[in-house]
Amino acid sequence: MLDYECYKGPEDRKLDTESCGKIVLRNKNLGLEQYRFLLQTITNSGIGEETYGPKNIIEGKEDSPSLEDALSEIDDIMFSTLDKLFERTGISPSEIDILIVNVSLFAPAPSLTARVVNRYKMRHDIKAFNLSGMGCSASVVAVDLVQHLFKSYKKAFAVVVSTESIGPNWYCGKEKSMILSNCLFRSGGCSMLLTNNRALKHRAILKLNHSLRTHLGANDEAYRCCIQVEDDLGYVGFLLTRGLTRNASQALSMNLRELLPKVLPLWELLRCVFKSITRNRNKCFTEAIGAILNLKAGVDHFCIHPGGKAVIDGIGKSLGLTDYDLEPARMALHRFGNTSAGGLWYVLGYMEAKKRLKKGDRILMISLGAGFKCNNCVWEVLRDLKDVNVWKDSIDHYPPPKAPVNPFLEKYSWINDEYLRFVKLQ
């Protein structure tokens, strides 16, 4: 990897407590039960007040998004990050051999890759791929695809753009399991430049050592635990079921069972074998990792998808990670929210801005997404990294001091008042 560029929205697109409240109250399908659920969810979400939302949501057009709204949202993220990426690296768009764009919930024709090719007047022989429906783990899928393509194309440049279409996919119904996505997902994305030209190794920041993809789509429960559906009122949204946690754990377990032997030294694997003999063999592999494996023997940093507080805490507990290890994911979630496939790169950016990444360090990227999929990879840091990147204006304020009262709870705690059960909310 030569460089990456994360998206940062304008100030007028920030979703603070007040603007979030206005958006929620505009939905006339919601009642007291849903309001209380939303308050509890956002209070415990780990998301702060400086995340970014799509323009059509900010302007109150979430119930009638247009094609122009969807294209405008994606164009802003793709082109602003690509412009900066090409400028920073000095690589011309005409030099790009492979282009991959992944946006799960928006697939117009011509494709988004065609839109990028047209904007930058790229070569006629460029290998363009448009990935849709791949969920939050699509970014690692794209990197893995590049790795395989590099086996056929030598001394090539590849660009990967990872983002999500939030505006046209805002849920306007009242089902709790579908409202959840409105609380977590925010605008964001990232563009990356990769190469297999060894002559440019001195310019590279990261080297991909391992990549492994696990897919549980053959299992009906796993397939349906995170899925786009239509509710009884005809509103389309993303359904997150109670089986999500269980299937995420299973996918992660299966992936790490195959990936870790490639990452950890032999002596640590042998120690794990001897130690596991005395432990409960009925335990899930991920539940046992933190107790019997020292992941620090082969991994220095953990770049976890900031999908939500429960996701981060659950992975941390399973792998026996410390608060220091989980800090980058928690802070990325707090500052930028769940930006879907682009989320991992905000976590990486935090590590770099905090000057944690030193030459020779190894980074384990963990991503989970609809399908259900677990796609992980291991990067090696090729030189000391210290660019403050997208965190430039906020890194000195992180980790933030813990507020005595959550701002959402402070402003809307009245929703939990018992007397409201007898009042009809308009």
- Stated length of the chain: 426
Q: Which helix (H) or strand (E) holds 192?
A: strand 189-195
Which residue in 20, 169, 247, 301 is the catalytic one?
A: 301
Report whether 124 contacts 165 (CB < 8 A): no
Catalytic site residue 334? Answer: yes
Catalytic site residue 210? Answer: no
Which residue in 215, 255, 272, 375 is the catalytic one?
A: 215
Which residue in 334, 375, 376, 377 is the catalytic one?
A: 334
Catalytic site residue 215? Answer: yes
Q: Which of 55, 170, 119 is nearest to 101 (CA)?
A: 119
Catalytic site residue 305? Answer: yes
CA separation, residue 243 to residues 56, 218, 227 (Å): 32, 15, 12
Instruction: Give the three-class secondary structure for 168.
Output: helix
> Cα(183)–Cα(34) distance, rounded to whole angstroms?
12
Q: How many helical (H) and strand (E) elements, i.e. helices and strands, does the chain have? A: 15, 13
Kindly give, in sequence order, each residue whose CB lies less than 8 Å from that of residue 150, ignoring residues fewer than 6 positions away: 156, 158, 196
Which residue in 305, 376, 377, 389 is the catalytic one?
A: 305
Q: What angle do CA 310, 136, 95 make, to 5 degrees?
A: 145
Which residue in 338, 375, 376, 389 is the catalytic one?
A: 338
Amino acid 304 reads I
CA separation, residue 31 to residues 26, 114, 174, 181, 183 (Å): 12, 43, 8, 18, 16
> Cα(185)–Cα(336) distance, rounded to whole angstroms?
9
Instruction: Give the three-class secondary structure for 206.
Output: strand
CA separation, residue 205 to residues 134, 360, 382, 401 (Å): 26, 11, 5, 32
Q: Taking phi first (over 0 means left), then psi (-120 to 50 degrees means alpha), and beta for anything else, what does residue 308 get? A: left
Report whether 42 contacts 216 (CB < 8 A): no
Residue 204 phi/psi, 5° resolution? -75, 155
Kindly give, in sequence order, each residue whose CB lies less than 8 Å from that of residue 276, ignoring residues fewer than 6 positions away: 288, 292
Q: What's the N-to-C CA distance of the chain in angstroms?
A: 53
Catalytic site residue 397? Answer: no
Which residue in 6, 20, 136, 303 is the catalytic one?
A: 136
> Could you give the residue numbers annotated as active site?
136, 215, 301, 305, 334, 338
